[in-house]
Structure 1
């Protein structure tokens, strides 16, 4: 069994994901731009901490990256201190960042020059999914490469699915975000209507969640949306980043995303009203006079 791994990026997702790997018996070395966060992780999980991404990757059979955006990925992958400079031939680079399909293909080409395999593997499930080991992972790349890391992914995932060649994982994640945006907006409008109509939220959701209107968002966010609570990890800023990636890809492949474009602007309204760090269910705040 492959035992030596590196994990780059200890945000709300990466922190518990790296912890699951360490708890499963893998030898994990982490890097985070904020060293204090890495030292806190080490104190909790007893893994190793590196001063640079390249140092973390040195000697690792598999390197996982989970950072913010395309530029963040490039900053930890390339250069003298980047992971590619520290990785050995025949190792595997797995990018969990939600990024562009174009970046995934770029990274695959760069990794191939070093005889390193690459998988783009964005995740869905939010902070709770990462903490509970219940993420969904959408993978782009070669099936043999996925097979080599599948046991590792299983430590923090309930479903891992190969979507196709490199870039397909990111494309699947775009579909995921497109669908989420539409469902959350529909739920926000429905709850607003229910409030104005004087309906009881608990009785309403208990009824309609059992029919065709039911969704993960309804089950997990309707109560907190009704109460005006929006502190669940995945911020509006990040959702807008993801939707922008999807809208750019749609322009390239000729897809029409009118609802997604509209909801992206609704999220911009939330940002302008001070809700940049609210979670994505905060779309309902647009119907209030103040946040």
Structure 2
């Protein structure tokens, strides 16, 4: 890839903004787009990019990165804004969906884009806002088009420290959903332990210190529980709605392969129940629902 390559980035939220900044810092010609035009203009100014004001601003763009909440929004961003971004891209363009999308919908989108002469790569990320900022995300990359991968890889590398090749199109999004299910299971179990321990009379900081020095340790206990749950900051940057959505994708994936997945079903239920009461808060605030739920029961 050379510096004349034009790249687009759609979705400038908590993760997308620093990711786009890292792409811009690699020295390529970057066009950014967000539903919040003021936000797009602000980020474009800060990173030396150009904020798109219409789909035609994506004329001759060769690679488009999407970082959006759902598969449906990804499709809307590509087809439903004006006359459609896809109709302005360069021939043989590549779209890299780094969102936490549904793998079955990813496969369907791939077929539609292929009809427009555009290749799709799914490359969801893990590492949170901190790793997005430093350009050290872990990437789960799925695609069966070697030429598309070769074309997009330098852009993906500018945002990551490790890239796992997971298989064909959709496999990256499947892997991301499973990863987030495991993380959500750890979150749910750890919060449950905090609630039980607190009711018994244990100090939550003590519980956390023991977990992090024992076999209960996980990425969640080391990086999330302390500031955002035990100290009640609730500022991880990842919403309960998105967490619930990702676990739901994993649950649907289990159903698609005819696996009962009782743990995934239980975690999905816990997340859904918390979301229905608390709304779209930071996911770490879910503990307040579980605490209240047990208080209401009076047991």
TM-score (norm: length of structure 2): 0.88
* Corresponding residue for residue 241 of structure 2: 237
More off after superposition, 239-248 vs 8-17? 239-248
| Corresponding residue number in structure 2 for 1:270 | 274
1:1-291 correspondence to structure 2 within 5 Å: 1-2=1-2, 3-52=5-54, 54-78=55-79, 81-142=83-144, 143-223=146-226, 224-274=228-278, 276-289=279-292
Q: Is the 8 A contact 2:129 2:237 kept in 1?
A: yes
SS at 2:14 equivalent: coil
- SS for the counterpart of 2:13 is coil
Q: Report the CA distance between 1:203 and its aligned residue.
A: 4.8
Per-residue Cα deviation, 1:14-58 (whole angstroms, up to 9, x for no partner): 111111110121111011111111111122112111123x33432
Root mean square deviation, CA, Å: 2.2
Give the whole-Å Cα distance in 1 for the aligned partners of 2:57 and 2:13: 17
- Structure 2: runs of 5 or more not aligned: none
Shift of 1:220: 1.0
> Partners in 2 of 1:187 and 1:197 — Cα distance?
15
Is contact 1:4–1:62 with CA below 8 Å preserved after alignment?
Answer: yes
| Residue-by-residue CA offset, 1:243-282 (whole Å, 9 max, x unaligned) | 22222222221022222222222223322332x3332233
Structure 1 unaligned segments of length 5 or more: list them.
Answer: none
How many angstroms does 1:95 deviate by?
A: 0.8
Aligned-pair distance for 1:201? 4.3
Kindly indicate whether the alpha-carbon contact (under 8 Å) linking 1:239 and 1:280 is maintained by their aligned counterparts in 2: yes
Greater mean deviation of Cα atoms: 125-134 or 161-170: 125-134
Going from structure 1 to structure 2, the CA distance change for 1:47 and 1:174 (only over 3 Å counts) comes to: same
Residue pair 2:124, 2:173 contacting (<8 A) in 1 also: yes
Structure 1 position 173, deviation (Å): 1.1
Partner deviation per Cα, 1:70-105 (whole Å, 9 max, x = no partner)? 221111222563232111222211111211112211
Offset from partner CA, 1:1-24 (integer Å, 9 cap, x none): 243200011111111111111012
Q: Quick check: 2:142–2:165 contact (8 Å CA) kept in 1?
A: yes
Question: Shift of the alpha carbon at 1:171?
Answer: 0.8
- CA shift for structure 1 position 198: 3.8
d(CA) in 2 for partners of 1:112, 1:271: 37
User: Which moves more between the two structures, 216-225 or 205-214?
Assistant: 205-214
Number of aligned pairs?
289
**In 1: Cα distance, 2:83 partner to 2:133 partner:** 29
Q: Does the residue aligned with 2:292 lie in a helix, a strand or coil? A: coil
Q: 1:288 is paired with a residue of what secondary structure?
A: helix
